[in-house]
Structure 1
């Protein structure tokens, strides 16, 4: 239990900070009457909106939403014609009777 005593100052400071913020942010501090608030809101709504600057890059076209996941198109592999059997080289090479390679 003694090892947790170092947490006491932090806990006290946290609780004191929470109490101070609760008091500082309580209702009624700096309250504006309804007429003033309504007048400010009306001024803000009638004020002309500033034009926003354009962007250097043009806007992208929206993507088509089909509900189906599509992969990006890419080149398909080329299918080569089959090679006749007699022209196919032997991958192991030609083994002879006196050849003592491990297979």
Structure 2
């Protein structure tokens, strides 16, 4: 009985192995070599272009507080005006 269950995995294992071999065979030549001078020229051109977000200001990320057990406040808390009115 358990062997019959394992036999259901054989077709998917065969397909996986065949796909791996096919991809390895297709990728054996790579994309081809690019001339070093051409690559340097492309890099220089890309670096000279203006970036789309170059002039924008980055938003400041909120400071992530620790989630530990004994976390103390990092700043002195201002007294709540509503609480001071009630107690007075």
Alpha-carbon offset, residue 43 of structure 1: 0.6
Show the counterpart of 1:28: 30
- What runs of 5+ residues in structure 1 fail to find an aligned partner? 76-103
CA-to-aligned-CA distance 1:61-80 (integer Å, 9 cap, x gap): 768xxxx83248587xxxxx
CA-to-aligned-CA distance 1:37-85 (integer Å, 9 cap, x gap): 1110111111222235858xx746768xxxx83248587xxxxxxxxxx
Cα separation, 2, equivalents of 1:42 and 1:12: 46
Cα separation, 2, equivalents of 1:32 and 1:62: 45
2:8 paired residue among 6, 9, 12: 6
Cα separation, 2, equivalents of 1:3 and 1:51: 55
Worse-matched range after superposition: 32-41 or 9-18 = 32-41
User: What is the number of equivalent residue pairs in this alignment?
Assistant: 72
- What runs of 5+ residues in structure 2 fail to find an aligned partner? 65-69, 81-88
Q: Larger C-alpha radius of gyration, 1 or 2?
A: 1
Cα separation, 2, equivalents of 1:36 and 1:11: 43
Residues 1-103 of structure 1 mapped to structure 2, 5 A cutoff: 1-51=3-53, 59=60, 69-71=71-73
Higher helix content, 1 or 2: 2
Relative to the length of structure 2, the TM-score reads: 0.53
Cα separation, 1, equivalents of 2:8 and 2:61: 57
Quickly say closer, same or farther: Cα 1:20–1:39, change in 2 above 3 A: same
Show the counterpart of 2:84: none
Relative to the length of structure 1, the TM-score reads: 0.47
